[in-house]
Structure 1
């Protein structure tokens, strides 16, 4: 079946979700069809935007996950960066998603990693092929991307993780200076989901779950970041190296949010392209 027919079929299925449809041109006449504000669950935060290329070159899907300290932020914060990625990867499908936010009366986990699974379940019911996923997040979204890939992706459908300023070890002394660390200690992980003798902070730390089967990981940390210090990169790299997981890490000149500014954004996108090309070449048939 031709790609054009496949995409038409996808759009017909999505028409029943009540979302809005339009065409997007992120640049260089690379046309995507947008399905915005799709509901993938029953709650108001469970919404996403889906970008389908007119001509699909492969079966890779970027899932973009925003930051905001687990209890704030919106997917709209990453719309511009998503469009920049669409320019570089015109044959990929893109999802920019919200998730259920935490509060003093609602834990972040397991809701937020469950929501990544809900997005994947939605896509697999909608797309006429079995995709490979690239999880890309910033800050809390990067933490969730890593945690889902290392802890919950039991079928190994995640091809790669792109970690932008994400906390990897919540117990690391450098992260304990985070101004909202008390919220992390009390409201990140629901203690009811812990079955073994694991501390809350270890359970919520992506680095704790890394093993030899973990997804290849590309990381970026800011040299002036006082929220998630670059020391997190050393902890993450050490664990990935110890388990012989393919990984690369880079620093950029800036604070926690300046990765979106030029020249940093272009630097990140170029490294993402090279990393994904590298792991595709080295993947065992």
Structure 2
């Protein structure tokens, strides 16, 4: 299953890339709250229902929170896989609060949907209940990779009942579990992942972001590789077309020679685009 983590592994070069990007000063602080890090905080009773929270200095009632959702085929992975993204965002966008969560992993007895969506809902509720304690605003963003991209899109499109999500970014995330190229896949690893959802067509539609997106869905940033062995090109392109049809603000970035993650200049290009998108959709409102 190592290939599910190719994108995470590639991010070890962030140490050199981050220094290449311009730093932007933030406005004079309106508070003198120090930065604070909380690790392995419980948002539920299951051992996997924990998260790390990175609270920026000088935060205030409008400070937004970006939630990171790891991948791993819905049955593997850890919040630590998102640490390179965490480090990049903390350095480049220091006004953000960042929540990096673990969620319950799927197996033959526990389907990914709705279990993992319920975990995200529990985390969002927890953050809302502790807003005063943490001194945070109500605005949210999501960034997910692979299965985490799927979950980020799905929660933002179908389960954000209070319209708090201002932006969602999916990196190589599946969008349509009814896609025929998925249902007939011969890749053994891919088959194992998709079988976790079962065969109920209604459930698969409810669990597919492309069937849940609406005209008032949040701004969406999509990254896909043309040689991805796990996510067909049609997944990102069809969601892009649906977003265009509905008039939802979005960006679609396609790297034709890349797979399920990438390195080098294309990685740097992706991170520059991510930073710019977050700054526009989750600005520092002091």
TM-score range normalised by the length of the shorter chain: 0.7 to 0.9
TM-score normalised by length of structure 2: 0.80
State the alpha-carbon separation in 1 of the partners of residues 96 and 55 from structure 2: 8
Structure 2 residue aligned with 1:99:
103
Q: Deviations over 1:210-254 (max 9, x none)?
A: 111111100000122111122211110111111111111102342
State the alpha-carbon separation in 2 of the partners of residues 3 and 126 from structure 1: 18
Report whether the alignment pairs 1:40 with 2:68.
Answer: no
RMSD: 2.3
Structure 1 residue aligned with 2:226:
223
Cα distance, 1:35 vs. partner? 1.1
Structure 2 residue aligned with 1:166:
173
Cα distance, 1:131 vs. partner? 1.9
State the alpha-carbon separation in 2 of the partners of residues 67 and 257 from structure 1: 12
Structure 2 residue aligned with 1:187:
196
Which structure 2 residue ranges, 5 or more long, are not aligned? Answer: 1-28
TM-score normalised by length of structure 1: 0.80
Aligned counterpart for 2:275 among listed residues 268, 273, 276: 273
Structure 1 residue aligned with 2:93:
89
Structure 1 residue aligned with 2:6:
none
- Check whether the contact 1:109–1:189 (CA below 8 A) recurs between aligned residues: no
- Check whether the contact 2:153–2:170 (CA below 8 A) recurs between aligned residues: yes
Which structure 1 residue ranges, 5 or more long, are not aligned? Answer: 8-31, 192-197
Structure 2 residue aligned with 1:151:
158
State the alpha-carbon separation in 2 of the partners of residues 273 and 60 from structure 1: 14
Structure 2 residue aligned with 1:60:
64
Structure 1 residue aligned with 2:139:
132
* Residues 140 and 123 of structure 1: CA distance in aligned 2, closer, same or farther (over 3 Å): same
SS of the residue corresponding to residue 110 of structure 1 reads helix
State the alpha-carbon separation in 2 of the partners of residues 189 and 113 from structure 1: 16
Q: Deviations over 1:3-44 (max 9, x none)?
A: 334x6xxxxxxxxxxxxxxxxxxxxxxxx4321111111001
Structure 2 residue aligned with 1:4:
32
SS of the residue corresponding to residue 120 of structure 1 reads helix
Aligned counterpart for 2:206 among listed residues 197, 203, 208: 203
- Check whether the contact 2:166–2:282 (CA below 8 A) recurs between aligned residues: no
Which structure would you say has the larger RCO, counting Cα contacts within 8 Å and 6 or more residues apart?
2
- Check whether the contact 1:70–1:140 (CA below 8 A) recurs between aligned residues: yes
Q: Deviations over 1:197-220 (max 9, x none)?
A: x62321211000111111110000
